[in-house]
Structure 1
């Protein structure tokens, strides 16, 4: 399967504290902000701090985000390899096409296809003169 990009998603119990740590203490540059989160550049990868936080002990605190070119093909490939699909591929209210699986230790892995018209794929800079 072809992976186009990846990121680590954190869902902290205290968003502002974690945001400040990555932004101010570590000095990571912001890749993009959206209502409910901030994505930082982290070398060759990205770290996303989501404001809809973790639920504490034993709750969902993070995931691995893998962007693929064709989510339907990825799902078929994973099923044929015997991987259990935790959540079938579908379009989310925020416009991304997502499917969820987990690694052997239960770490959530979000497989994502970004539609052509999604804001992540559009250049938000003003046109140059």
Structure 2
């Protein structure tokens, strides 16, 4: 199997609140729009906010969205000024990444990650 592209599709309870969060609060650029949905660029991935399929049921999302940023501490200050609730403050984790946790309007966890220059993720292991 050859995977040509991928994206994460979210079906929020409040479509407009999700568009505001991902487009305005996080500042993600729009990749494309279609009747009933908006697709945002998210680094090398895409996040699609579908206007269909949402419900009043509690959101069940057993994972988190992982978004790499240049400076997680600057992002924390910017988000706090915008009134975004910080679920877990930015800090360096035992595995070496600097992480900040927030949540989207449906409570989906969003982890913002800064990768230090000397972290193994940045090293070419070939």
Using structure 2 for the length normalisation, give the TM-score.
Answer: 0.54
SS at match of 1:88: strand
TM-superposed CA distance for 1:93, in Å, is: 1.0
Aligned length: 78
Q: What's the counterpart of residue 77 of structure 1?
A: 78
Contact 2:61 2:108 in 1 (8 A): no
Deviation at 1:28, TM superposition (A): 4.5
CA RMSD of aligned residues (A): 2.5
Give the whole-Å Cα distance in 2 for the aligned partners of 1:60 and 1:98: 20
Structure with higher strand content: 1
Residue number in structure 1 paired with 2:111: 110
Give matches, 1:32-71, under 5 Å.
42=6, 44-45=44-45, 61-71=62-72
TM-score normalized by the length of structure 1: 0.53
1:102 and 1:69 mapped to 2: Cα distance? 19
Matching residue of 2:96: 95
Distance 1:105 1:117 in 2: 35
What is the CA distance between 1:45 and its match in structure 2? 2.7
Displacement of 1:81 in angstroms is 0.1
Task: Describe the superposition over 1:81-123 as per-residue Cα deviations: whole angstroms up to 9, x where unpaired.
Answer: 0000000001111110001000000000000000011011111
Rounded to whole Å, the distance in 2 between the matches of 1:69 and 1:85 is 18
Q: Deviation string for 1:28-79 (max 9, x for gaps)?
A: 59xxxxxxxxxxx848439xxxxxxxxxxx8761111110001110000000
> Residues 72 and 107 from structure 1, CA distance in 2 versus in 1: closer, same or farther, beyond 3 angstroms?
same
